[in-house]
Structure 1
Amino acid sequence: MDKQELIDCHERIKPFIHNTPVLISRLIDEMAGAHLFFKCENFQRMGAFKMRGAANAIMQLTDEQKRNGVVTHSSGNFAQALSLSAQSLGVKAYIVMPSSAPQVKKEAVKGYGGILIECESTLAAREHESERIVNKHGATFIHPSNNDHVILGQGTACKELLELHPDIDYVIAPVGGGGLVAGSALSVLYFGNHCKTIGGEPFEVDDAYRSLQSGKIETNTTTNTIADGLKTQLGDRNFPIIQKHVEEIIRVTEEEIVLSMRLIWERLKIVCEPSSAVALATVFKRREKLSNKKVGIIISGGNVDLGRLPF
């Protein structure tokens, strides 16, 4: 994926996304000992960065593929992103979700025009149901994070950040399926000025950290984290990008995630989900390394169940 592909992708999706604001906080800067720039994808359409990749992936389909629709399996933000992107582009979207997914997320998918198909809450069940829809309707499967067009789309958030602040030293993104951190790393490579990419990950789901250590894609046996958007694992499309262009992945505790989430709510006055707070927790974890540096933080989304806040 080269620089021109990223530029073309950004131009392509601009009519369907928001160029989200970048916020700063003098108080958080003082606490972190660094100059932080928060790229607020919680203000993106459907409330998360995933709108970018979903829109790009659908726009790259042939006319025949668009007529047959798209399918994905997701219990979270990508389900909503693909639904809204498809609706905006006049394409059918079949969304496979585990029956255990929060009702509010199911309603959001339906509200965005997605055709909801429920299944058991196992990966095998999700994949089986997706395959059935592909075979029955001829729909094209779009993976939430392990897809080149999705990765490029997700990278446009970092591209916008660097266009506004080209002298940033580090960009930090949370790591779940790997699409955001891989896309961000490509933008840092092509548009940064001696800038580096760091990933943040909970200790409870540290598969990406272990994957960089072992050189192969690792999995998690448990997913006991509040950062529900980061429970998925890397794929063969984004892992090589992460290996080559992400400097390191830093792990944070559940307590550190909650404290950082609360700080963002209290000081930036914005709603962010726990997965987003992982990036700020990473800054505090590496305070010495990032001292007096200019650090871009991707606030990945703001789709949080207000009835289940951890504070």
Structure 2
Amino acid sequence: MFTRLREDIATIRERDPAARSAWEVLTCYPGLHALVLHRFAHACWRARRRWLARFVSQMARFMTGIEIHPGATVGRRVFIDHGMGVVIGETAQIGDDCTIYQGVTLGGTSLTRGAKRHPTLERGVIVGAGAKVLGGFTIGADAKIGSNAVVTKPVPAGGTAVGNPARIIVPAAAAAVSAVAKAAAVGMPVNGRAGVASHATANDGALSNGVTRDDEHAKVAARRSDFCAYGITPNADDPVSLAIHGLIDHAATQAKRIDEIVVALEHLGTSLEGLQGADAALLDLRRLSAAIAGKVEGTVAAR
């Protein structure tokens, strides 16, 4: 128990620059208090002391403003920042190293008793303030849910979900990593070698794909160094914004290409400066394309 508590305190001090000491974290952070009480409530739930589990959960809610159903599964080093208004449902599963901000709902859309109604967050997921993740699907490892997003479908590993309804952005690097992981999971060759699922051996502490525990810890440290509060990333803009910027870049590129075409035509002896009045119709793009095609065909025929 004390090992988990020390981990939680270290995690909060690492991810929250406002945390100045371990004593301050221990006494003043409701997210930590909610997790400690949830562990006790969850133990009661698994022991089929259901009323006691719900009672502890309600006391934690009263004290912290964070409601975690005692049936929910919460991993290690989970950080609930501020926490007021956080609701986590019964069948929710939260992986290690996840971060959840205030006002987040991990809710369900089904009324079927005993079904998987709430989402699963894999390792390293960040859920921004006010986000709603609704349904029994999975949010992939290291994914980010932007503030106030409403997510009703799975998010792949490394992806970002923004907007209402949420739109999924998958960076190219994350897509490549996901493809390699899938290939390794099914034993397909990756870079000339057969991929295998990664799990720790009992003897030498190395993973089955040749990656040591130190390498894994280095990856975790690198991921934490890239920590993005509230699920905001500088290279994952809204899709509409990306589309607008793409159109602007495309227009600029087209203008540059037209200037290059004009210079090339002038180099071939065609002058466009003297075209005025009625002759300006010759600048129509179709005629310009036909002229270029004729010159190209004439050049090929001459050769």
Same fold (TM over 0.5): no
Give the structure-1-normalised TM-score: 0.22
Could you tell me the TM-score, scaled by structure 2's length?
0.23
Higher relative contact order (CA 8 A, sep 6+): 1
Pair member with larger Rg = 2
